């Protein structure tokens, strides 16, 4: 089973997590999430399985809950535990 287009995923997250204040949109984490979702779809030629998306979905949820930090380093997706556990790559 494959999953919907990345724009649909971002749109649903935008509605839930973006903050609008006086015509300014605050969505800093959504910019990072957008790069992750686009990476997943590009990496898999726009054919992402539900299982793969669920794996990244759990990571994104942890990011939104401030449990991990997600960033890019040398074209690799890096994940850092904010509790100080350590760093690992996820996305290869």
pLDDT tens for each residue of 69-83 = 999 999 899 999 997
pLDDT at 4 > cutoff 70: no
DSSP per-residue codes, 40-76: HHHHTTT--BHHHHHHHHHHHHHHHTTSEEEEEETTE
More confident residue, 83 or 21: 21
pLDDT tier, 13 (very low <50, low <70, confident <90, very high otherwise): confident
* Predicted TM-score of the model (pTM): 0.70
CA 2, CA 47: separation in Å to the nearest integer? 6
């Amino acid at each position: 089973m494959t999953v919907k287009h990345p724009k649909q995923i971002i749109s649903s997250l935008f509605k839930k997590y973006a903050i609008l204040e006086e015509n300014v949109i605050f969505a800093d984490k959504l910019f990072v999430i957008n790069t992750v979702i686009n990476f997943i779809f590009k990496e898999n030629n726009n054919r992402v399985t539900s299982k793969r998306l669920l794996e990244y979905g759990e990571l994104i949820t942890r990011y939104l809950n401030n449990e991990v930090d997600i960033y890019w380093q040398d074209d690799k997706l890096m994940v850092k535990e904010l509790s100080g556990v350590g760093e690992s790559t996820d996305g290869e």
